[in-house]
Amino acid sequence: MKRKFFLPVLLLSFFSVIYSESRFVNYTNTKRIRCMAIEGNTVWIGTDGGVETRNSLGKNIKTYTAKDGLAGEFVWAVAIDSEGNKWFGTENGVSKFDGKTWASYRTSEGLANNYVRSIAIDSEGNKWLGTEYGGVSKFDGEKWTTFDTSRGLADNFVWAIAIDQKGNKWFGTNRGVSKFDGKSWTTYDASNGLASNTVRTVAIDLKGNIWCGTNKGVCKFNGKSWISYSVSNGLASDLVSVIAIDAEGNVWCGDGSRSGNGVSKFDGKSWTKYDVSSGLGSNIVSAIAADLNGNIWFGTLKGISKLK
């Protein structure tokens, strides 16, 4: 009787491990993934060689390059506005795609710098563009406005932008994270709560907390105080290049550095690490997005991984 009972337990345990490992589906790509945005069943992907679109099954639908009208082929940022227009930040300006035609904007049109690292769109439809060494450009559809260190921004190299529920803009820079409420600026850095001045990514969770990814871990700000998490707390890597929040409020942190240590998931209590041994396509993760079906998409050095 013991033998009959013991064998099924072994089998159940074995299949559980297989199921856990097979939750990842990988789609290889010869180009490195830099950013992603999900629109319904379509994933818009920025790479080192243009823009790709894939369906929810991972099948490639179409690729866009400079020949099609894209400003540049190193695509660092992507955002989708309320009208369905796609905005792509590249090394040679920002491009808008309405599904049929392309329009590109550069310094000659009013952009602060042609190297666009980040994009966010506010509730009024204004586009906020973070650049390398040019600060932030705001585009209302007609007029460009530049915000830089002379106006209160911590640093002119802007890695990331996020907008909270109150409409405050948060800018991740090399000298901390700056908050702009439309009138005044407040900067947080290593002297007043951040783990490090280098803030590569910013995200807002479902409770309104601000999450900043740095080169010394990830930091959470509740509006009053900061708390930091590092590898000593269970984080996969202290270098956090990208943060995303899923529909359940889980916080996903990816390491996009050359040494890459995979992805961490924080459920509010504990951290779970995913890497190549778990089924992730590569430990170098530069982009994360959550779809409406609960799948988490990871843009890596070797392509896309989808966690079901």
pLDDT in tens, 122-146: 999 999 999 999 999 999 999 999 9
Cα separation values, 238 from 214, 241, 242, 281, Å:
7, 10, 12, 20
Does 169 have pLDDT greater than 70? yes
Q: In what order do the strands lie in the sheet with 86-90?
A: 75-80, 86-90, 93-97, 102-105
pLDDT at 187: 98
Phi, psi of 75 (to 5 degrees): -105, 110
Report helix, strand or coil for 138.
strand
The model's confidence at residue 12, banded by pLDDT at 50, 70 and 90, is very low
Stated pTM of the model = 0.91
Assign 8 a pLDDT band (cuts: 50, 70, 90). Answer: very low
Residue-range domains of the chain with CATH:
25-307 (2.130.10.10)
* Whole-angstrom distance, CA of residue 32 vs CA of residue 13: 36
**What string of DSSP letters covers 171-227?**
EEEBTEEEEE-SS-EEEE-TTTT-S-S-EEEEEE-TT--EEEEEBTEEEEE-SS-EE
Distance CA 211, CA 306 (A): 23
Confidence of residue 57 (pLDDT cuts 50, 70, 90): confident
- Return mean pLDDT, the chain: 92
Contacts of 169 (CB under 8 A, 6+ apart): 120, 122, 128, 161, 162, 163, 179, 180
**Do 36 and 287 contact (CB within 8 A), yes or no?**
yes
Q: Determine the average pLDDT of the residues in 37-55.
A: 96
Beta strands across the sheet bearing 251-254? 242-245, 251-254, 263-266, 271-274
For residue 272, list its beta bridge partners: 265
Beta-strand relationship, 210-214 and 251-254: unpaired
Instruction: Name which of 169, 179, 218, 181 is nearest 198 in CA terms.
Output: 218
* pLDDT beyond 90 at 167: yes
Tens-digit pLDDT profile for residues 78-87:
999 999 999 9
pLDDT of 297 above 70: yes
**Res 197 pLDDT > 50:** yes
Rounded CA separation 231/144 (Å): 41
Residue 65 has pLDDT above 70, yes or no: yes
Q: pLDDT at residue 20 above 80?
A: no
- pLDDT given at position 58: 81
Q: Model confidence over 203-258: pLDDT tens digits?
A: 999 999 999 999 999 999 999 999 999 999 999 999 999 999 999 999 999 999 99
Give the length of the chain: 308
Q: Which pLDDT does position 13 carry in this prediction?
A: 28
Whether the per-residue pLDDT at 42 is higher than 90: the answer is: yes
CB 29 within 8 A of CB 304: yes
User: Residue 16 above 90 pLDDT?
Assistant: no
Which pLDDT score is estimated for 6? Answer: 32
Whether residue 25 is predicted with pLDDT greater than 60 in this model: the reply is yes
Are the C-beta atoms of residues 53 and 42 closer than 8 Å to each other? yes
163 vs 221: CA distance, rounded Å:
14
Confidence of residue 30 (pLDDT cuts 50, 70, 90): confident
- CB atoms < 10 A from the CB of 154, how many? 23
Q: What pLDDT was estimated at residue 29?
A: 80
Of residues 195 and 3, more confidence is placed in 195
Distance CA 27, CA 56 (A): 12
In this model, does residue 2 exceed pLDDT 60?
no
